[in-house]
Amino acid sequence: MARVFGSTIFAQPIARVWALIRDFNGHESWHPAVERSRIEFDEPADKVGAVRRFRLRGGGEIREQLLALSDREHSFRYFIVEAPVALRDYVAEMRLKPVTGEDATYCEWRAEFDPPPSERESLTRFVREEIVAAGFAAIRQALTHERAPTVARVAPEPAQTDARAVVLTRYGGPEALEMRGLAVPPPGSDEARLRQTAIGVNFIDVYCRRGGFTLVPPGGVLGMEAAGVVERLGPGVNGLSVGDRVAYACAPPGAYTTARNMRADMLVKLPPGLTDRQAAALMLKGITASFLLHDVYAVKPGDFVLIHAAAGGVGQLLCRWAKALGARVVGVVSSPAKAQIARALGCDLVLLSGQPDLIEATRRFAEGEGAHVAYDAVGADTFDRSVAALRPRGHLVSFGQASGDVGARSIDALASGSVTLSRPNYSHYTDTPAKLAAQTSRLFAALAAGHIEAAEPRVYPLADASRAHADLEGRRTTGAIVLTP
The confidence band for 418, taking pLDDT boundaries of 50, 70 and 90, is very high
CB atoms near residue 414 (< 10 Å): 16
The region of weakest confidence among 147-156, 161-170, 237-246 is 147-156
Q: How far apart are CA 245 and CA 12, in angstroms?
A: 19
* Domains delineated in the chain: 2-144 (3.30.530.20), 161-274+455-484 (3.90.180.10), 285-428 (3.40.50.720)
Given pLDDT bands bounded at 50, 70 and 90, which one contains residue 3? very high
DSSP codes joined into one string, 75-103: EEEEEEEE-SS--TT-EEEEEEEEPTTSS
Dihedrals φ, ψ of 322, to 5°?
-65, -40
463: exposed, middle or buried (C-beta count within 10 Å: 0-12, 13-18, 19+)? middle
Q: pLDDT higher for 155 or 458?
A: 458
**Which amino acid would we find at residue 434?**
A
Query: What pLDDT score was predicted for residue 346?
Result: 96
| DSSP element (H, E) containing 63 | strand 61-70
pLDDT over threshold 50, residue 167: yes
Q: Is the pLDDT of residue 151 over 80?
A: no
pLDDT at 58: 65
Q: Name the pLDDT band for 138 (thresholds 50, 70, 90).
A: confident
Per-residue pLDDT tens digits for 191-231: 999 999 999 999 899 989 999 888 899 999 999 999 999 98
Question: Which whole number is the average pLDDT over 362-366?
Answer: 96
Q: How far apart are CA 378 and CA 331, in angstroms?
A: 13
Between 101 and 356, the more confident residue is 356
CB 246 within 8 A of CB 230: yes
Mean pLDDT of 415-424: 94
CB contact at 8 A, 308 and 386: yes
Provide the b/e sequence for 291-315 (b: ≥16 CB within 10 Å): bbbbebbebeeebbbbbbbbbbbbb
In whole angstroms, what is the distance from residue 424 CA to residue 400 CA?
A: 9
Whether the pLDDT of residue 29 is over 80: the answer is no
- CA–CA separation, 439 vs 416, rounded Å? 34
Q: What's the confidence (pLDDT) of residue 262?
A: 96
Q: Residues 122-128: what's their mean pLDDT?
A: 87
Residue type, 421: L
Contacts of the segment 70-79: beta carbons below 8 A, 24+ positions apart: 70/272, 71/18, 71/22, 71/245, 71/272, 72/272, 74/14, 74/18, 76/22, 76/24, 78/24
- Weakest-pLDDT range from 118-122, 308-312, 442-446: 118-122
**Contact 376/403 with Cβ under 8 angstroms?**
no
Q: Residue 35: what pLDDT?
A: 79
pLDDT at 157 over 70: no
Would the pLDDT of 150 be above 80? no
Partnered with residue 400 across adjacent β-strands are: none
List, in sequence order, every residue forming a beta bridge with 258; answer none if it has no partner: none
CB 168 within 8 A of CB 218: yes
- Positive or negative, the Cα torsion across 181, 183, 189, 195? positive
By residue count, the chain amounts to 485
CA dist., res. 152 & res. 140, Å (int)? 8
SS3 content of the chain, % helix, strand, coil (to 5): 30, 30, 40
pLDDT of residue 154: 36
pLDDT of 57 above 80 = no
- The whole-number pLDDT of residue 412 equals 85
Average pLDDT, the chain: 90
Task: Give every CB contact of residue 413 below 8 A, 6+ residues apart in sequence.
Answer: 384, 387, 419
With 80 as the cut, is the pLDDT of residue 155 above it?
Answer: no
Q: Is the peptide bond before 187 cis (omega within 30 degrees of 0)?
A: no
Task: Using a pLDDT cut of 70, give the percent of the chain over it.
Answer: 96
Q: What is the pLDDT of residue 92?
A: 94
Query: Which is it for strands 328-333 and 349-352: parallel, antiparallel or unpaired?
Result: parallel
Q: Which DSSP letter does residue 6 get?
A: E
Q: What is the mean pLDDT of residues 245-261?
A: 95
Asked if pLDDT for residue 152 goes beyond 60, the answer is no
For residue 159, what pLDDT band results from cuts at 50, 70 and 90? low
Determine the Cα–Cα distance for residues 93 and 108; give it in Å rounded to an integer: 8
pLDDT-derived band at 147 (thresholds 50, 70, 90) equals very low
Residue of 253, 288, 250 lying closest to 399 (CA atoms): 288
Contact 27, 37 (CB under 8 A): yes
Q: What is the pLDDT of residue 54?
A: 85
Mean pLDDT of 323-351: 96
Residue 54 vs residue 357, higher pLDDT: 357
Whole-number pLDDT of residue 145: 62
What spatial distance separates the first Cα and last Cα of the chain, rounded to whole Å?
40
| Contact present, 82 and 60 (Cβ < 8 Å) | no
Total Cβ atoms within 10 A of residue 461:
13
